[in-house]
Structure 1
Amino acid sequence: MGLVFVPTPLGNLRDVTLRAVDVLRDAPLIVAEDSRVARRLLNALGVGTKEIWTYHEHNASATTAAILARARAETVAVVTDAGTPGISDPGSALVAAARDAGVAVEVLPGPAAFVCAAVLSGFDLRRFVFAGFPPRAGGTRRAAFRAALGETTVWYEAPHRIRAALADLAAVAPERRVFLVRELTKLHEQQVLGTAAEVAAALEEPVRGEIVLVVEGGPDGAPPAEPATPADLDAAIDGLLAEGLTTSAIAKRLADAGHGERRHLYARVSDRRTGRAEPE
């Protein structure tokens, strides 16, 4: 009984684990990001017909209670389209809800694109950050890139936005080393290492496939030499506020990235948080 988070292959079906196949075969219910993708995987693995419910950011609040009710009585397998559920998808909220409800949760080891890309980069990984998808707006995205330059950072990006993201990264840190991997584990996997401009030049049109971008941190974790402009700093603050971070957490992150003293940043963040209560 309980929820079992089951990682699925990034692209190569042979990367599925024996335990994953066992759970998918035995679980009466499978909760999937996309039922069509899940059915294709089950058919390829020879698992057969299963009851499948969809769970994604647009229906999470409406389906969580029903999923947990089933998980109290039987095993419910949770999968995403590729990789480990809970990474850049609402799976983490389902884990939190299960813990609050006293429902057991288990996760199987398996594929995670950001880990594979980080290892392939060859950058120092004694400390690194996974940041998910960057903001879509150019100014906010540049500010997010600038704020993260102090540490090696792994980003996901969509193929139709990757050129704009690389252009913003080139504007913020033109000489910083960047590693991009596209179509990880698939037949046409592409790996590119260079500056942001060099990486962009190596991409063919149209850009297709899932993309992971790794940006090398400053030497010894040092902050970027180029300071953020006030507009960039405010854009970064707004983006972090939108992520739900506390004032203290935002001030610490920006201070660690070399954007000023923490107490001054705390005051600036507080000024931009207009009438919003938050835990300290």
Structure 2
Amino acid sequence: MSLYIVPTPIGNLEDFTFRSLRILKEVDLILVENNKFSKKLLNFYNIKTNTKTYHIYNEHRIIPSILEKIKRGKKIALISNAGTPNISDPGFLLIKSCINASIDIECLPGPTAFVPALVCSGFPIHEFTFIGFLPKKKRRKKLENLSKENRTFIFYESPHRLIRTLNDFKFFFGLKRDIVICKEISKVFQKTLRGNIEDMILYYTNKNNKKILGEYTLIINKQKK
């Protein structure tokens, strides 16, 4: 009895392992975060496996039936819209429930946005903290606590909150703290910007009023001693 956690491409559909492809074709059911979104990948690789939506709004309700299916011998895989499930995506509750039910978890290696962003940042990576999306509540308290640490930080951010987050960084980390912003990793409009926090605020507030689009990974360098 096992649940397969299968990472999926974060951009380019070719960023997919042979093993992930095989597993998704062999299992009896694929749990998807968004059926319409995932169909693009599944159709690209001619994967005909049945799917069922699994997300934060229905997980409490459907987890018992998922566990029952696995116990009866059904092979089930979990994917998210992009990247590795449970990394700023649904998955934690199902994984924890499987562990409590003595169901094995097998997580395949594969794409996740923060790893390539961190590697190409040029910042020290022997000690880093992955934050993901900042919490909506106690956001400033979280940043205040982080400002006391001396390590590289990794954040995810949406386009409509990017400028707000950069201004929060200015307040808690200072204008001159080095930062790398990776936009749309592995996608057509992939772009990497390097500089300090002040540079990034000026760049994104002086884009001739163009709308900020895309998905962002922000890497903040450790403090200079």
User: TM above 0.5, one fold?
Assistant: yes
Could you say which structure has the greater relative contact order, defined with CA pairs below 8 angstroms and 6 or more residues apart?
2
State the Cα distance separating 1:218 from its structure 2 match: 1.7
In the TM superposition, residue 53 of structure 1 has moved relative to its aligned partner by: 1.1
Cα shift at 1:46: 1.5
Write the deviation string for residues 130-175 of structure 1: whole angstroms up to 9, x where unpaired.
Answer: 01211346xx434322321322110111111001100111122211
The corresponding residue for 1:214 is 219
> Structure 1 runs of 4+ off > 6 angstroms?
none
With over 3 angstroms needed to count, the CA separation of the structure-2 counterparts of 1:44 and 1:200, relative to structure 1, is farther
Distance 2:213 2:158 in 1: 9
The structure whose residues are more often strand, as a share, is 2
Matched-pair contact (CA < 8 Å) for 2:176–2:198: no
Alpha-carbon contact 1:174-1:195 (below 8 Å) kept: yes
Shift of 1:116: 1.5
* Secondary structure of 2:84's aligned partner: coil
Q: Which has the larger radius of gyration?
A: 1
Q: What is the CA-CA distance between 1:66 and the residue it aligns to?
A: 1.1
- What is the percent sequence identity of the aligned residues? 33
* 8 Å contact kept, 2:80–2:90: no
Note the 1:106-185 alignment, pairs <5 A: 106-136=106-136, 140-149=138-147, 150=149, 151-172=151-172, 173-185=174-186
Q: How many residues align?
A: 217
Superimposed CA distance per residue, residues 95-146 of structure 1 (whole angstroms, 9 cap, x where no aligned partner): 1110100112101000111111111211101010101211346xx4343223
Task: Indicate whether 1:84 and 2:73 are aligned.
Answer: no
- Rounded to whole Å, the distance in 2 between the matches of 1:193 and 1:127 is 20
Runs of 5+ unmatched residues, structure 1: 221-280
Aligned-CA RMSD value:
1.5
- Note the alpha carbon deviations across 1:53-102, whole angstroms, 9 max, x for none: 11111111111111111222121010000000111123122111101001
Cα pair 1:141 1:168 within 8 Å, conserved: no
Match status 1:190 vs 2:191: yes
Match of 2:29 in 1: 29
What's the TM-score once normalised by structure 2's chain length? 0.91
Aligned mates of 1:160, 1:136 — CA distance in 2:
14
2: CA distance, partners of 1:71 / 1:159: 38
Which residue identity does 1:52 align to in structure 2?
A: T
In proportion to residue count, which structure has more helix? 1
- The alignment partner of 1:188 has SS state of coil
Q: Which runs of 5+ in 2 are unaligned?
A: none
